[in-house]
């Protein structure tokens, strides 16, 4: 399912038309190509790669170079979807000039169409500066994994009146700053619905209920390939980890026994060349 290349304006138009927006993560060209063919509108190269690919305990250690490397890889597989690169921890929080420089690298060096940043009111001025510089920005509020420690861990946010009002103000602030969409992570469904109805740009939910304008999941969670833990909001649409282990185990056993490779999976010499290697029968 490959059509015209999607733009930020196309994504905003989907909200205006009441059409749900499908978003998934990808970390290499193979998955980028598969997601693109499947009709996913936004492909996010998430800093979640730190945990699902690189084995880090959190997203905090992920570097700019690691993100740019994986964004470049995914870009090779994507023709239609909007490609968004996740800006890693401390690549945009220090000052606006550095945020613009690093955000620009995602577009110039990695071929991304936009970037994503975490945070609320404290980064609205930075978002506005990046947008003025020509960098499309997706926001991310609620549970923000890069600063989960400061939030008390991986917990649902916005459950009391004060924090709910703050999240609503943050969403409005990011929209006014020029963000084209906002990820809402781990917040109550009614609050997500109120935020969605209050801003003109799309909301993309992850653990935020059905009233968001779209949904996102980590592809490894969706396919059952990440077994360390499974967030309660994740629905597994496949359970590939056992199948992968089963296939590898079968290969190991056949190599050990000599069953693989057999004649079907080997190249056979023919003609005069084969005659050269015939054993002398005396």
- Banded model confidence at residue 228, pLDDT cuts 50, 70, 90: confident
Given this model, what pLDDT does residue 276 score? 67
Query: Above pLDDT 90, what percent of the chain?
Result: 87
Question: Around Cβ 245, how many Cβ atoms within 10 Å?
Answer: 11
CA distances from 17 to 80, 192, 201, 213 (A): 19, 19, 12, 10
Question: Around Cβ 244, how many Cβ atoms within 10 Å?
Answer: 12
Q: Is 98 a catalytic residue?
A: no
The C-alpha atoms of residue 111 and residue 118 are separated, in whole angstroms, by 21
Given this model, what pLDDT does residue 279 score? 56
CA distances from 205 to 15, 38, 76, 96 (A): 13, 20, 27, 27
Over range 182-192, report the average pLDDT.
97
Mean pLDDT of the chain: 94
Domains and CATH numbers, the chain: 8-239 (3.20.20.60), 243-276 (no CATH)
- Banded model confidence at residue 174, pLDDT cuts 50, 70, 90: very high
Over range 3-8, report the average pLDDT.
94
Write down the catalytic residue from 41, 118, 170, 185.
Answer: 185
The C-alpha atoms of residue 261 and residue 242 are separated, in whole angstroms, by 24
Question: Around Cβ 83, how many Cβ atoms within 10 Å?
Answer: 26
Task: For 92-137, write each residue's pLDDT tens digit.
Answer: 999 999 999 999 999 999 999 999 999 999 999 999 999 999 999 9
């Amino acid at each position: 399912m490959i059509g015209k290349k999607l733009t930020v304006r196309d994504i905003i138009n989907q909200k205006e038309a009441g059409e749900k927006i499908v978003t998934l993560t990808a970390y290499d060209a193979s998955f980028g190509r598969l997601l693109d063919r499947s009709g996913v509108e936004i492909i996010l190269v998430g800093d979640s790669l730190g945990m699902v690919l690189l084995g880090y305990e959190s997203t905090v250690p992920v570097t700019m170079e690691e993100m740019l490397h994986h964004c470049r890889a995914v870009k090779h597989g994507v023709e239609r979807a909007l490609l968004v690169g996740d800006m890693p921890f401390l690549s945009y929080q220090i000052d606006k000039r550095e945020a613009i420089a690093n955000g620009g690298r995602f577009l110039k060096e990695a071929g991304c169409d936009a970037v994503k940043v975490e945070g609320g009111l404290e980064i609205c001025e930075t978002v506005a500066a990046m947008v003025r510089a020509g960098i499309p920005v997706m926001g991310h509020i609620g549970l923000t994994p890069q600063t989960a420690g400061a939030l008390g861990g991986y917990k649902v946010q916005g459950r009391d009146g004060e924090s709910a009002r703050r999240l609503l103000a943050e969403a409005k602030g990011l929209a006014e700053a020029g963000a084209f969409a906002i990820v809402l992570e781990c917040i109550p469904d009614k609050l997500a619905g109120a935020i969605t109805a209050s801003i003109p740009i799309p909301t993309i939910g992850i653990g935020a209920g059905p009233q968001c304008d779209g949904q996102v999941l980590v592809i490894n969670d969706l396919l059952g390939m990440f077994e360390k833990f499974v967030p309660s909001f994740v629905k597994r649409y496949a359970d590939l980890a056992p199948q992968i282990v089963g296939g590898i185990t079968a290969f190991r056993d056949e190599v050990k026994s000599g069953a693989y490779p057999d004649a079907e999976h080997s190249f056979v010499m023919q003609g005069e060349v084969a005659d050269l290697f015939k054993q002398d029968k005396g």
